Structure 1
Amino acid sequence: MKRASQTLVTYSSSEDEDQPPVKKKRKLPSLSPSLLLPVPTDNPTLHQGRVRSQPHVEGQWVAHIYVSLIVERRSNLHKLLDVVLGEAKVISPTLHDFWPTGEPSKKHELHISLSRPIYLRTHQREGLKAAVKSLSRQFPPFPVSFATFSELVNDERTRTFLALEVGAGHHELRAMSNALTPTLHAIRQKEFYEDPHFHASIAWALLDRPAPSQSLIADVSPTLTEGTLSPSHAVSVPPERVPEADFPTVTQLPEELVRSLNHRYSSALSSTKTGIFDVEEIAVKIGKEVYTWQLSG
């Protein structure tokens, strides 16, 4: 029995020539500059010298949870704050108040924060709104009033604030803030402060900016302010500071400012005649949009 012979198959050069040539990929034309979205830039000159606490990140939204109090123009609190802010600006001319100017019909609104600034990805927005809506169903409306004036400094130590600290209502506000903690942890955000100073800011001033070459970490000095937003929070406190070229800055508000305001006006501020407000809703601001829900617990 003979073995079958193995045949070697070969291809002619003509068959090679029949293969289609490989086409080179053509580059897409570049987009017209008019179609390109501008990259947001931090320009303090457009915002009275204020700077971002966090750099802009595409697809990231800044959110803030708070309760608001409407101050009617004819109310005793409005009249008191007009006097207080007038005197405060005499003692510290660098102060900017939060009252809207040039709009006599507009109501003034005070915000009491229940969270630090929250940084969300786009897909997390609906989840945060749902959590705040759920929170509104757990708490009934409650009264709030103010007790004293204080100076508070933000975490980044870029601004200092003249604030009204909450008296009545502190317990309820803290319970609401604590109830938000699991939600904030779930999206890897910080909870509110361990020893919170619930307050409404009425004016602010720019703080001296640290020199770029300096980066020392230290605790906030207890003598720096009447109270800080984060008493135990570590912040950059360089030995040298660089003043702003275009906007006046301060190391801190004058020591006599808060002391004088409390001495002269704290009794009027805490008086029942000045104002006890009913907190009836909770709000969350995401970007420029504000969403509110009535308290109904």
Structure 2
Amino acid sequence: MLVGYSSSSEDDGEAGGEAEGDKNQSETTCRKCQEEDDGLPTRKKPKTEEEGPKSRLPLPGCVLAMFPDEVDSQTEDSSLHGGRIRSFKHERGNWASYVYFPYHPEEEFGELLDGILSAAGARGVVLTAQDEFHLSLSQTVVLRHHWIQPFTQSLKSSLTGCKRTFLGMEVSTGHAQLLDLIRTVDRTMTEFRLETFYKDPSFHVSLAWCVGDQTVQMEECMQELQSLVDDHEDRPFVLRLDCSELRCRTGNKTFRFPLES
């Protein structure tokens, strides 16, 4: 199976500083306080007709630093992420989040994956194995930090009563149960006005990735890669997931939701 994901990037804006304005504002404030402490009346400049409306003084830099609009541009440097580009700009306070079943590969899975990567590389397609493997039950959405607790609580409440199921690589069984779980997860997504899962979902575990669209090159060797799976140690390799625990990853936090057996 080949799955393509589009990526988009946005140019980072530049945050302008007002250090000199902040200094002048502080000096003015301190001078006024000193005059009041000395018992002297504060002097007011008489308003003339030439004066226009007063402009607002800039916020001090220390206050602006408490609420940055964006993070350092290095976090958007694709070279730091293997050439991958974020599908949406990372902003402080926004947490990329998704719901999934984890897959913990056994030894023979690693051997099979090495063979697939080697065969693709021989055809000129250099693939990078996933750092971890999972089956997604939601799109990747953005949560504000203060949404995390009510979001996960809603997800936990919705999942009460969901049953355990086991899934093979080709999803020959368990398809209906997965659709039931997706409908449950989608209710929480809708509650928070987030994107629901795909209309006709393709259940799969991503094995590897590469930068750019190399679908044509991959299709040329798909039959060979499929043969590696079908003929693995003289029998088709079957990938099974232990779906006893649903998880939600949001930023660097992982929430676990045990399902009923």
TM-score normalised according to structure 2 size: 0.68
Shift of 1:85: 2.4
Paired position in structure 1 for 2:123: 91
Matches within 5 A, 1:61-72: 61-72=95-106
Matching of residue 59 in structure 1 with residue 93 in structure 2: yes
Instruction: Note closer, same or farther for the CA distance 1:142–1:117 as it changes in structure 2 (3 Å cut).
Output: same
Please give the alpha-carbon distance, in whole angstroms, between the structure 2 residues aligned to 1:204 and 1:194: 24
Matching of residue 124 in structure 1 with residue 147 in structure 2: yes
Structure 1 contact 133–293 (Cα < 8 Å) conserved: yes
Paired position in structure 1 for 2:83: 49
Structure 1 runs of 4+ aligned residues shifted over 6 Å read: 26-29, 34-38
RMSD of equivalent CA atoms: 3.3
Point out the structure with max Rg over C-alpha. Answer: 1
Matches within 5 A, 1:238-249: none
Structure 1 contact 146–168 (Cα < 8 Å) conserved: no
Alignment partner of 1:282 out of 234, 246, 252: 246
Alignment partner of 2:156 out of 128, 133, 136: 133
Tell me the secondary structure at the aligned position of residue 190 of structure 1. coil
TM-score normalised according to structure 1 size: 0.60
Paired position in structure 2 for 1:227: none
Gapped regions of structure 2 (runs ≥ 5): 1-38, 46-56
Shift of 1:257: 2.3
Paired position in structure 2 for 1:194: 199
Gapped regions of structure 1 (runs ≥ 5): 1-17, 100-108, 148-165, 209-249
Paired position in structure 1 for 2:34: none
Structure 1 contact 49–206 (Cα < 8 Å) conserved: yes
Alignment coverage as a number of residue pairs:
208
Q: Which has the higher helix share?
A: 2
Structure 2 contact 245–258 (Cα < 8 Å) conserved: yes
Q: Which has the higher strand share?
A: 1
Please give the alpha-carbon distance, in whole angstroms, between the structure 2 residues aligned to 1:294 and 1:28: 48
Structure 1 contact 62–286 (Cα < 8 Å) conserved: yes
Alignment partner of 1:79 out of 85, 88, 111: 111
